[in-house]
Amino acid sequence: MTVLGVDLGGTKCLGVALQDGEVVGEVRLPTPAGGDALLEVLSTVVDRLRGSSTPEAVGVGAPGLVDRDGVLHFAANLTLEGELDLRSALAERLGVPVQVDNDATCAAWGERAHGAARGFDDVVLVTLGTGIGGGIVVAGRVVRGANGFAGEMGHMVVDPQGPLCPCGQRGCWERFASGSGLGRLGREVARRGGAPRLVELAGGDPEQVRGEHVTLAVGEGDEAAVEVLVRFAWWLGLGLANLANIFDPEAFVVGGGVVGAGDALFTPARRAFAELLQGADRRPPISVLPAALGERAGAIGAAYLAAEAAGG
Ligand code: BGC
């Protein structure tokens, strides 16, 4: 059985072809702005992936509120004028069954099928990218909620007086613990003159400091960057503690580019998590694990969810 999965990200659109569970092809294109352009790029990725053979199904992961009919209603980090009926529009263009889910829901399912969440029936995935995505597996099943909108952990408010979020609220968790949150924390220190190496990596302008500069400088052993990452890890631990109180998972799987920082991130994050978790020393430990599938997790999971929806 051949199924295709496409992850529509804030910056890139990444598709994979899966044949009997193995990745046999990959295509990536930049994500454009606007609904029609998004449909166009999704169709192009699918066309390039499928070559001459017709896949049984196509799965798409989209970064926002995707309802159970595959309509994208709202996406804080995409330029979208209104709602976008991704499933119908794509099914019509492609002539195959299309399944659309939230991007992080897809990533959670991908990690459970093939990655770090394998073997766990109760597991929560968080992806730290432009925003924070959340995917929830309870009793071995993906949780979508009444409308399909479950798992919007990035918009859990952790500081009501905090920075504005593109979603319109203040102090959402993703303002602190996403890849862009890491950049923001880095810029705060850089503006005060406390992180010369970060400013240097950003081409001399503190306003250009991004998350990648922080992780790069951490790799070089820069102390100021390590401090920024430890603050970031505290925010990550705080959110995970809140989620653990709600879901009581066996494990968390954490994905996104910043996971490349390894122990420099995971050691302080696990420490903060243990400090902030209710009754931490009276309950079985909850593992906090790095994701295993990297940037392909969402596309792989989207393909699996599409295969399941198509009865495969
Ligand atoms: C969106 C989520 C999405 C996440 C990661 C958040 O801002 O609200 O739906 O999963 O970003 O893309």
b (16+ CB within 10 A) / e for 203-217: eeebeebbbbbbbbb
Closest CA to 111 of 240, 304, 306: 304
Using the mean position of ligand 1's atoms as its centre, give its distance from the Cα of residue 214 in Å: 22
- pLDDT higher than threshold 80 for residue 53: no
Confidence of residue 54 (pLDDT cuts 50, 70, 90): confident
- Kind and range of the H or E element at 217? helix 211-219
Using the mean position of ligand 1's atoms as its centre, give its distance from the Cα of residue 200 in Å: 31
Pocket test residue of 132, 156, 176, 258 for ligand 1, highest count of atoms within 8 A of CB:
132
Output the CA angle 1-99-115, nearest 5 degrees. 65
Using the mean position of ligand 1's atoms as its centre, give its distance from the Cα of residue 152 in Å: 7
The minimum-distance atom of ligand 1 relative to the CA of 155 is 8
Closest CA to 63 of 120, 131, 139, 163: 131
Pocket test residue of 172, 174, 180 for ligand 1, highest count of atoms within 8 A of CB:
174
Pocket test residue of 74, 103, 175 for ligand 1, highest count of atoms within 8 A of CB:
103
The pTM of the full predicted model, rounded to 2 decimals, is: 0.96
What is the average pLDDT across 134-140? 98
Per the DSSP assignment, residues forming a β-bridge with 135 are 125
pLDDT tens by residue, 79-91: 888 899 999 999 9
